[in-house]
Amino acid sequence: MLFVIIFIICLNILVFVHELGHFLVAKKNGLKVEEFGMGIPPRIFGIKKGETLYSLNALPIGGFVRIYGEDGAHPEEKNSFASRPPLTRAKILIAGIVMNLIFGIMLFIVGLNIGIPTVVDEKNIAYVKDIKLSVLQVQKDSPAEAVGIKMGDRILKISYADKEILNPSVEELQRFSKEYVGKEITMQIERGNKNLEIKITPRETKDENQGALGVVIGETGFLRYPFFKSVWEGIRYALGLFVNIFVMIFVFLKSLIFQGKMLGEVAGPVGITVLGSETLKLGIGYFLQFLATLSVYLAAINLVPFPALDGSRIVFTILEKIRGKAVPPKVENLIHSIGFAILLLIFFVITYKDIAKLF
């Protein structure tokens, strides 16, 4: 429970960073910010400082900045969002996205300087330390899943009777598990700062995609760069990840809208909290990498031009700049309301699946 609480706090830091971007740019441009809220209402308490109410709300995940006139009202007043030209409004809208991306870059830089987990390849091997065979994925309904092997476990030793192999390679583990199909072997694994001994019985399978243990394995270590190289690599990695996530979101939405199905495993707040608390147990390197990736995800998702997201609102400001006149506020608000309802539906479906996995 302690790890879950710590992760929820860190998740809210990502939301705070996003909303802070909107807040700072809005204030810099002379707009009235009515409320800066953390959590989702109902409100627990609030403190008013100047013209802004700073509030803490009941549901502990999420946050918002309520800017005067953001619904299109009061266009005649200078401190109203609606009174500002399209480019100014676009800057305020994109500020949250930029803040999350910058925060993700900073976390990657720190992580790459102290060491984050990575799969070993020819390009990075010179900077990778403590290389060991690791579990990259656990297949469903497999021997590995049945005995509680988890993604990120590092395999220190495998043994049967008086035969044992220390720090096995991929090929050695594959040969060993095939040799002792149907027999209980012992695996010594490293999980965070713990060493565990797990008994597992390899299965017989003819499916090329289903190994005897039911795991995807590879050599991993901790990638650590000198400071100046970590800065460059952190920026490069975060920007590359941002582009990949942005493209994958469109692929996901296309599949969801036109085929009525979700591609791959998608986690909501419950699933992310469970996964995040697990990475926290593995160590600071794992956790920093996960948190940095999440921050970049948040930036990419909000840039998608889907109604109710920042990306959609930015598109409306661009249309106004091109057309020379704004889309009627009632029409824009209706579109965002429909988009928000769809997002809520997706949220509840994903959350239901996340909770179902826990039982």
Q: How far is CA 103 from the centre of its chain?
A: 13
- What is the tens place of the pLDDT at every residue in 100-145? 999 999 999 999 999 998 888 888 888 999 888 999 889 888 999 9
Q: Side-chain half-sphere of 192: how many Cα atoms within 13 Å?
A: 11
**pLDDT at site 51:** 92
What is the torsional sign of CA 240, 242, 246, 252?
Answer: positive
- Comparing 29-38, 76-85, 148-157, 263-272, which segment has the lowest mean pLDDT? 263-272
- 67: phi then psi, degrees, rounded to nearest 5: -100, 135
**pLDDT at site 189:** 93
Is it the case that residue 219 has pLDDT exceeding 60?
yes
Is it the case that residue 80 has pLDDT exceeding 60?
yes
**pLDDT at site 140:** 86
**pLDDT at site 260:** 62
Is it the case that residue 58 has pLDDT exceeding 80?
yes
Structure tokens that stand for 162 in this block: 């008086």
**pLDDT at site 123:** 82
Alpha carbon separation from 337 to 51, 152, 270, 342, 346 (Å, rounded): 27, 41, 24, 9, 14
Mean pLDDT of the chain: 87
Predicted confidence band of residue 355 (pLDDT cuts 50, 70, 90): low
Q: Which residue has the higher pLDDT, 267 or 20?
A: 20
Domains and CATH numbers, the chain: 2-99+246-277+291-357 (no CATH), 119-223 (2.30.42.10)
Is it the case that residue 326 has pLDDT exceeding 70?
yes
**Percent share of the chain, pLDDT over 90:** 50
**Percent share of the chain, pLDDT over 70:** 90
Alpha helices, DSSP H, located in 115-196: 143-146, 170-179
Average pLDDT over residues 57-76: 88
**pLDDT at site 200:** 93
**pLDDT at site 193:** 81
**pLDDT at site 15:** 92
d(CA 318, CA 303): 14
**pLDDT at site 94:** 96
**pLDDT at site 263:** 52
Is it the case that residue 73 has pLDDT exceeding 90?
no
- What is the tens place of the pLDDT at every residue in 14-29? 999 999 999 999 999 9
**pLDDT at site 204:** 86
Predicted confidence band of residue 351 (pLDDT cuts 50, 70, 90): low
- 91: phi then psi, degrees, rounded to nearest 5: -60, -40
